[in-house]
Structure 1
Amino acid sequence: MVPWIRGGPTNPDNLVLLCSRHHVQVLEGRWQLLVHPDGHVEVIRPPLDFAAPPRGPAAGKVAWELGRKG
């Protein structure tokens, strides 16, 4: 598959249905799509990075600690 923005055709053989989140991740190269000769699409996700720091509310102090007085 070749994205249209990179010169790919807009015919059904070069199209796949993706949500907007995964569409961006494929364009950015984080996820890969492989089309096999029989036509099925294999999705390859990026490797998990267990060394990455946690995101969101779980990172650092919990909210109730931040709001405590004294």
Structure 2
Amino acid sequence: MAVVRISFGVLAIIALIFSIVLPAVQAESLAPAPAPTSDGTSIDQGIAYVLMLVALVLTYLIHPLDASSYNFF
């Protein structure tokens, strides 16, 4: 009798899981998201980052030449 009760409990749990999951399988799919549109701000930001990187590199290249002309000690 114990085997019958355990298998009935397992069957009840499986039935409960299927009753929750199966309606979600038949749900309608959502409409796809619209394609992202670029208003130019990301392009402007990319150009600004490149220009700041160029300015940083130039600063580090020019600074040793400028600093070598000073004699502190």
TM-score by length of structure 1 reads: 0.28
Structure with more contact order per residue of length (Cα contacts < 8 Å, sep ≥ 6): 1
Larger strand percent: 1
TM-score by length of structure 2 reads: 0.27
Give the structure with higher Rg (CA). Answer: 2
